[in-house]
């Protein structure tokens, strides 16, 4: 049985926002679990809620010995890296605020992780980011704080959050191309849907159960293409 190691954030962990209970919960039918059932593979999921690429690198380094046991490795980062301290922005919108991981640091750290796995001789896939719903996300981050100040900092347009988030996803695309790593383009599978917002939780950023099914289908398609091209089995 093939073994897959996954390093990523709450999307790979299978966490979704429960609007009724106003809390996060672990989704039983996450894309990781669904893919495992479809392919009959063993998956070690090292994804963590709130994980940035720097935290992911630290987790990966703790498991370098075990990494040799993996047939495939999957990375999924960026959603937390591009995020901001929104309460701080709401408090002081006229100050300069930086994302959790500046874009140059994101690229350098992610590159280092990819090179490490490639040098270990493991097959590697990168997932880009599912799109966010900017209006939902703005409403979510504005809870209990001064939303007008956040909007002021955003230049008066909540959709700036989407464009900023997309920039990090594009960097993942470019990284995959530059380092010759297969990209699983889950973002395009969402954007092809006119109703893709219906596949995103009320927090605007986490895919819901239907969103995870879509991600599973996207991975299935990409993996089948990779297997056919490289004449390997999974």
At residue 225 the predicted structure's pLDDT band, cuts being 50, 70 and 90, is confident
Instruction: Say if residue 227's pLDDT is above 80.
Output: no
Instruction: Say if residue 22's pLDDT is above 90.
Output: no
pLDDT digits (tens, 9 = 90+) for 99-128: 999 999 999 999 999 999 999 999 999 999
Dihedral angle of Cα 214, 218, 220, 222, to the nearest 10 degrees: 180
Q: How far apart are CA 134 and CA 82, in angstroms?
A: 14
pLDDT given at position 233: 64
- Exposed e or buried b per residue across 135-147, where buried means at least 16 C-beta atoms within 10 angstroms of its C-beta: ebbbebbbeeeeb
pTM of this prediction?
A: 0.95
Contact 141, 150 (CB under 8 A): yes
Helix 209-230 to helix 31-39 angle (10° resolution) is 40
Structural domain boundaries in the chain = 3-83+102-131+170-230
Q: How far apart are CA 202 and CA 212, in angstroms?
A: 15
Q: Mean pLDDT across the stretch 139-163?
A: 96
Q: How far apart are CA 54 and CA 83, in angstroms?
A: 14
Instruction: Say if residue 56's pLDDT is above 70.
Output: yes
Q: How far is CA 216 from the centre of its chain?
A: 14
* Helical spans, DSSP H, in 124-159: 134-141, 147-153
pLDDT given at position 234: 64
**Rg, Å, the chain Cα set:** 18
Q: Which fold has domain 3-83+102-131+170-230?
A: Rossmann fold (3.40.50)
Mean pLDDT score of the chain, rounded to an integer? 94
């Amino acid at each position: 049985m093939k073994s897959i190691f996954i390093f990523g954030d709450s999307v790979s962990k299978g966490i979704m926002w429960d609007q009724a209970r106003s809390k996060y919960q672990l989704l039983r039918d996450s894309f990781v679990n669904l893919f495992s059932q479809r392919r009959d593979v063993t998956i070690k999921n090292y994804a963590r809620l709130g994980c940035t690429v720097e935290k992911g690198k630290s987790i990966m380094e703790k498991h370098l010995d075990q990494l040799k046991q993996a047939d495939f490795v999957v990375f999924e980062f960026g959603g937390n890296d591009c995020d901001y301290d929104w309460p701080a922005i709401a408090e002081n919108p006229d100050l300069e605020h930086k994302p959790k991981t500046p874009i140059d640091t994101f690229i350098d750290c992610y590159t280092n992780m990819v090179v490490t796995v490639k040098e270990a001789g493991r097959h590697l896939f990168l997932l880009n980011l599912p799109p966010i719903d900017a209006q939902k996300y703005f409403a979510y981050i504005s809870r209990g704080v001064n939303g007008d100040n956040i909007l002021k900092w955003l230049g008066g347009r909540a959709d700036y959050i989407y464009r900023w988030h997309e920039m990090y996803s594009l960097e993942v695309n470019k990284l995959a191309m530059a380092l010759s790593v297969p990209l699983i383009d889950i973002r395009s599978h969402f954007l092809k849907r006119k109703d893709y917002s219906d596949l995103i939780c009320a927090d605007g950023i986490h895919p819901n159960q239907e969103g995870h099914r879509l991600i599973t289908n996207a991975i299935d398609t990409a993996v089948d293409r990779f297997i056919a091209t490289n004449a390997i089995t999974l």
